[in-house]
């Protein structure tokens, strides 16, 4: 899978991870169809962000439900809000870490996500 990338492609691959709404990943998929390294990072970033969005939506629904428990709802709502905020920050920091690893020329592996992404790179 190792293809030599120029500095622009390397930067785009790295920016695919922390970019909001996976905009850079989609641009990479559209413009770099033949480059398997760019496709790897684009799919890896795209599926990681989709997994993150699904996780945060599920946490939000759970927080909403916990917030409606009588008496304990206020306490659980505040605690759950803090947990969700810290989780969002941790996810963003992890995406920055993946971007730095990509910029160094490594191929970061995200559990479950990378296996799923590799199926699409091979097509």
- From CA 102, how far away is CA 37, in angstroms rounded? 10
Nearest C-alpha neighbor of 14 from the set 89, 93, 96, 90 = 96
pLDDT-derived band at 7, boundaries 50, 70, 90: confident
- From CA 22, how far away is CA 19, in angstroms rounded? 6
Predicted confidence at residue 2, as pLDDT, reads 62
Predicted confidence at residue 89, as pLDDT, reads 95
Between 36-67 and 23-31, two packed helices, what is the crossing angle to 10 degrees? 150
Q: How many domains does the chain have?
A: 1
pLDDT tens digits, one per residue of 11-58: 999 999 998 878 889 999 899 888 899 999 999 999 999 999 999 999
Q: Look at residue 1 and tell me if it is in a domain.
A: no
Q: Look at residue 122 and tell me if it is in a domain.
A: no
Q: Which domain holds residue 15?
A: 7-114
Q: Look at residue 123 and tell me if it is in a domain.
A: no
Predicted confidence at residue 39, as pLDDT, reads 92
pLDDT-derived band at 8, boundaries 50, 70, 90: confident
pLDDT tens digits, one per residue of 54-99: 999 998 898 888 888 887 888 887 888 889 899 999 999 999 999 9
Residue 3 has pLDDT above 80, yes or no: no
Q: Look at residue 119 and tell me if it is in a domain.
A: no
Q: Look at residue 82 and tell me if it is in a domain.
A: yes
């Amino acid at each position: 899978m190792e293809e030599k990338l120029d500095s622009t492609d390397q930067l785009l691959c790295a920016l695919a991870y922390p970019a909001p709404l996976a905009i850079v990943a989609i641009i990479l998929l559209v413009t770099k169809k033949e480059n398997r390294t760019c496709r790897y990072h684009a799919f890896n970033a795209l599926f990681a962000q989709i997994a993150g969005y699904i996780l945060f939506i599920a946490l939000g629904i759970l927080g909403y439900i916990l917030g409606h428990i009588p008496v304990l709802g206020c306490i659980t709502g505040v605690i759950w809000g803090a947990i969700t905020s810290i989780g969002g920050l941790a996810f963003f920091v992890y995406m920055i870490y993946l971007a730095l690893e990509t910029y160094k020329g490594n191929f970061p592996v995200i559990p479950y996500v990378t296996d799923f992404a590799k199926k699409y790179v091979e097509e």
